[in-house]
Amino acid sequence: MSYFEMTKTVIKSLFSRPATLMYPAKPAKITPLTRGHVTIDPAKCITCRSCQRKCPTQAILVEVKEKTWQIDQMRCVVCDCCVEVCPTKCLTMDTQYPVALTARGGVTKVTVAGPKKKEPVAPTDGAAKPAEKKE
Amino acid sequence: MSNQITVPFGPQHPVLPEPIHLDLVLEDERVVDVIPSIGYVHRGLEKLVEKREYPEYIYVAERICGICSYVHSNTYAECIEHIMKIEVPERAQYLRTIWSEYSRMHSHLLWLGLFADGMGFENLFMNAWKLREHILDDLEATTGGRVIQGVCKVGGVRKDITPEKLDEMVKGLKGMEPALRDLTSVFFNDASVSHRLKGVGVLQKGDAYTLGAVGPTARGSGIGIDLRQTGYAAYGKINFKPVVEQSGDCYGRCAVRAKELFTSIDIIGQCVKKIPEGPVEVKVVGAPDGEYFARAEQPRGEVVHYIKGNGKRNLVRHRVRTPTFTNIPPLVTLLKGCELADVPMIVLSIDPCVGCAER
């Protein structure tokens, strides 16, 4: 049993640099794998709703008719499931943590491109006529 | 005989990181009875299993606890894998073991810090958390998350670690070891710490056994139970001995956790030496049909996950028994007969994780 067991560490700490970062002034430590928040490239989204189905917290809502993609930051647990499942790779994981919310909300709604339309085939007289008949 | 008075302890108390309420019945300064009550942070996670598909539910299961999160996901995955008879690749088993041990180290360092804070040793608290930061950095660099790793999945793991990174991790831990020795020697040898902890809250070996104490609470009382010896993940291929202390007081429980830091470093070193090459996951098709319960050693003790499936993507039942829940009866026994001033240290010594206990 001794009385100055901590002294060695204290002296070491006195003469070494602080272990903490002055956070807002200096950026936080991040790694390439860090899961910060989900971002979307609206031009690539085909509203397939895979991300909505895989989301364990139901944070994502995709409206196919309105062509919108919506994420609720308050529900999202940043598990990376949606990013893994996205067929067009329009979802990406940003390494920066989202800014803390100061009020209820945090819902981000984005209008997306939607499914790619097939190139309209140049109408020929023969093909157009039967279609009209059906109607 | 003096009058009995009841003093409420918690749910909000400076030493408690999480809300647990204890009604302490006092005679003068001595505690004669304790009535614990929980229910402040119940979230109903187990019910959610009926609404989420089993591969995605693992991220919910992981969030049962904010500290031993990795072990929850690992145990849940093992449960499902056992029902569906999935052979997990060996590399994934080793990676799971490495991350389990990292998460144990980060939990123990967190607890050592909080324990020091509880006895008013602020300097020691800061030092423990400074060292914990290195562990969290490695976890973040390999999994992407600091405390919620999200790296375990049914059928394997989601991320692989390169051999260079593995060597670097072992080197980092070896480099940390002298600093850890300095830190733990304060807990073992410092006069003020010993004075505060020795002989306080003694749990006899027989009581620990009959009341169902688990983890460091049981090992501090001389019971050598360590679920890692059952050989889940890759623990079966690793040589280690569970740390057992005979004293049964707060000092013993603290010493178990402090010594386990070095066991973890040793286990990680062995894993890195033995880890084979190969894939880290297998494709999982179908859904679990049947029931199973898996046990694992969390930093706080034994955790049990019970799962029942009926061949559909949504499970029927998920039940978790967490170590803190099991350690509450021993805690009540510990508190009876102690001084009021010792209550905070005794409550902290079982490492209460109330978020876990209530789910």
Per-residue pLDDT averaged across B250-258, rounded? Answer: 90
Do the interacting molecules here have an ipTM over 0.85?
no
Residue B353 lies inside a defined structural domain of this protein: no
pLDDT in tens, B99-152: 999 999 999 999 999 889 888 888 889 889 999 998 999 989 998 888 888 888
Confidence label for A124 from pLDDT (cuts 50, 70 and 90): low
In a domain, B237, yes or no: yes
Q: To probe the interface with A, which of B160, B168, B185 has the most A CB atoms within 10 Å?
A: B185
* B32: pLDDT strictly greater than 50: yes
Instruction: Give residue-wise pLDDT tens across range B175-189.
Output: 889 989 888 988 888
Task: Let me know if residue B359 belongs to a domain.
Answer: no
User: What pLDDT digit, counting tens, does each position of B289-330 carry?
Assistant: 888 988 898 888 889 999 998 888 888 888 898 888 888 889
The confidence score (pLDDT) of residue B204 equals 86
User: 1.20.1260.10, 3.30.70.3270, 3.30.70.1400, 3.40.1260.10: which CATH number matches A46-116?
Assistant: 3.30.70.3270
CB distance A77–B191 less than 8 Å?
no
Domain for residue B85, yes or no? yes
Confidence at B334, pLDDT banded by 50, 70, 90: confident
Q: Which two tokens stand for residue A66?
A: 């309105």
For residue B1, give the DSSP letter: -
Check pLDDT > 80 for residue B243: yes
The reply to whether B77 falls in a domain is: yes
The minimal CB distance from B182 to the residues A9, A34, A93 is found for A9
Q: pLDDT by residue (tens digit) across B74-105? A: 999 999 998 988 888 989 999 999 999 999 99
Model confidence band, residue B348 (pLDDT cutoffs 50, 70, 90) = confident
**Which chain B residue shows the shortest CA-CA distance from A32?**
B141
- CA B358, B71, B177: angle at the middle one, nearest 5? 120
Q: Contact at 8 Å (CB) between B214 and B326?
A: yes
Alpha carbon separation from B36 to A11, B19, B23, B327, B344 (Å, rounded): 43, 11, 6, 12, 14
Q: Is the pLDDT of residue A134 over 50?
A: no
Write the CATH number for B340. Answer: 1.10.645.10
With CB atoms and an 8 Å threshold, state whether B148 touches A9.
Answer: no
Q: Report the alpha-carbon distance of residue A112 to residue B49 in Å, rounded.
A: 32
Measure the CA–CA gap between B39 and B19, rounded to whole angstroms.
Answer: 9
More confident call, B204 vs A132: B204
Give the other-Cβ count within 10 Å of B18's Cβ. 18
Average pLDDT over residues A75-101: 85
Residues of B near A (CB-CB distance < 8 A)? 52, 56-57, 59-60, 63, 123-124, 127, 130, 133, 137, 140-145, 148, 150, 158-159, 182-183, 185-186, 189-192, 194
Q: Confirm whether B95 is domain-assigned.
A: yes
Structural domain harbouring B200: 4-348
Chain A residues closer than 8 Å to B159 by CB: 33
| Contact assignment for B189 to A5 by CB distance below 8 Å | yes
Q: Which residue, B358, B290, B336, B359, is CA-closest to B22? A: B336
pLDDT bucket at A130, cuts 50 / 70 / 90: very low
* pLDDT of B157 over the 80 cut: yes
pLDDT tops 50 at residue B199: yes
Look at residue B307 and tell me if it is in a domain.
yes
Res A54: pLDDT: 86
Domain total of chain B:
1
Taking only the tens place, the pLDDT of each residue in B56-76 is: 888 888 888 888 888 999 999
Alpha helices in B198-305 (DSSP H): 205-210, 215-219, 250-274
Helix axes B90-118, B122-143, angle to 10 degrees: 160
Which pLDDT tens digit goes with each residue over A99-122?
787 777 778 877 777 777 666 666
Write down the pTM of the prediction: 0.86
Query: What was the pLDDT predicted at B109?
Result: 92
Residue A34: which of B127, B144, B148 has the nearest Cβ? B144
Q: What is the mean pLDDT of residues B330-342?
A: 87
Q: What is the pLDDT of residue B248?
A: 86
- pLDDT at position B68: 83
Q: Which of residues 58-87 of A touch B (CB under 8 A)?
A: 77-81, 84
Structural domain boundaries in chain A: 46-116
What's the pLDDT score for residue B265?
92
Confidence of residue A25 (pLDDT cuts 50, 70, 90): confident
So what's the pLDDT on residue B108?
A: 92
- Mean pLDDT for chain B? 87
pLDDT tens-digit profile of A29-49?
A: 888 888 888 888 888 888 888
Percentage of residues in chain B with pLDDT exceeding 70?
A: 99
Q: How far, in Å, CA of B87 to CA of B281, rounded?
A: 9
Verify whether the Cβ–Cβ distance B123 to A6 is below 8 Å: yes
* Polymer length in residues for chain B: 359
